[in-house]
């Protein structure tokens, strides 16, 4: 094709047909520009397709991580509700509402239990490395950042606070009233028997500890864990909707 164009251009110049040559030259330039534009458009569409596929993959990965996170949160909520049952039972005894029985030894133990939360942040961290603007849905993008940077981080901060209270309670409070040598953290059959049931009930140190951790636990479950749970559930629903549109 190019040799034909060259011969035509040479013929027009030889025959002194300048006007036709200019028209031809302009047409040739237009064809070249159109070719470049087409190539650019094709390349743009290819890149857009790759970006779309990458975004879809990231959405799937975030969803998979959230499913695990939600299961962990729900387990922790149940665990802390059971822990609070023991805390309330011990408070009843401290307030002389129930008599002491060996069953209380189980509750003395369980009131000190706690949980941890380690979210599956790898997909979100990958997204931040790529660029959060990869997520084209504005509402979904905002929800992702809210759940990971606010809801989950807030939860993790309180995990540290609650567990620190438990550890300090164990060393600063429980060590005065229980025989710690009989307690092993990996033994589910542990029973913390008070060294002196009269002293533990009369002194305010243990009462204050149990009251404080019970109140914190209630706030922890109702406000912190439930917030993280709702955030995860809402984000999973939004991800399901976005993924369904794409598939």
pLDDT in tens, the chain (247 residues): 445 545 555 554 555 555 554 555 566 666 666 666 665 565 565 565 678 888 999 999 999 999 999 999 999 999 999 999 999 999 999 999 999 998 999 999 999 999 999 999 999 999 999 999 999 999 999 999 999 999 999 999 999 999 999 999 988 999 899 876 455 555 556 688 899 999 999 999 999 999 999 999 999 999 999 999 999 999 999 999 999 998 7
Residue that is written with structure tokens 């609650």 in the block: 162
Q: Which of 195, 165, 199 is closest to 183 using CA atoms?
A: 195
pLDDT at position 116, please? 95
pLDDT at position 191, please? 80
pLDDT at position 243, please? 94
pLDDT at position 41, please? 61
pLDDT at position 114, please? 93
Residue 138, CA distances (Å) to 2, 41, 150, 246 in order? 49, 25, 17, 16
pTM (predicted TM-score): 0.80
Burial call 76-96: b when 16+ CB within 10 Å, e when fewer: bbeebeebbebbebbbebbee
Residue 211, CA distances (Å) to 85, 124, 175, 191, 207 in order? 13, 38, 17, 20, 6
CB neighbours of residue 112 within 10 Å: 24
Strand partners, 178: 194
Q: Which residues contact 182 (CB under 8 A, 6 or more apart)?
A: 190, 192, 193
Q: Which of 170, 155, 128, 150 is closest to 226 using CA atoms?
A: 155
pLDDT at position 3, please? 54
Q: Which of 163, 143, 116 is closest to 233 using CA atoms?
A: 143
Residue 187, CA distances (Å) to 85, 129, 163, 183, 196 in order? 20, 43, 19, 8, 23
pLDDT at position 21, please? 46
């Amino acid at each position: 094709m190019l040799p034909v164009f060259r011969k035509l251009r040479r013929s027009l110049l030889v025959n002194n047909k300048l006007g036709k040559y200019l028209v031809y030259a302009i047409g040739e330039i237009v064809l070249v520009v159109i070719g470049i534009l087409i190539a650019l458009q094709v390349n743009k569409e290819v890149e857009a397709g790759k970006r779309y596929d990458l975004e879809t993959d990231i959405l799937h990965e975030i969803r998979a991580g959230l499913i695990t996170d939600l299961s962990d949160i729900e387990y922790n909520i149940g665990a802390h509700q059971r822990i609070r049952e023991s805390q309330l039972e011990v408070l009843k005894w401290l307030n002389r509402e129930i008599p002491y029985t060996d069953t209380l030894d189980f509750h003395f133990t369980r009131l000190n239990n706690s949980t941890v939360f380690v979210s599956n942040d790898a997909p979100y961290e990958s997204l931040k490395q790529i660029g959060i603007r990869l997520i084209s849905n504005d509402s979904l993008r905002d929800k992702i950042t809210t759940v990971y940077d606010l809801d989950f981080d807030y939860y993790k901060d309180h995990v540290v606070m609650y567990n620190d209270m438990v550890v300090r309670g164990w060393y600063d409070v429980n060590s005065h009233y229980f025989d710690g040598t009989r307690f092993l953290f990996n033994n589910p059959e542990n029973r913390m028997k008070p060294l002196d049931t009269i002293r533990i009930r009369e002194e305010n140190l243990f009462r204050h500890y149990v009251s404080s951790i019970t109140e914190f636990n209630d706030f922890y479950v109702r406000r912190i864990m439930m917030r993280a749970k709702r955030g995860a559930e809402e984000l999973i629903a939004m991800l399901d909707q976005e993924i369904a549109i794409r598939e």
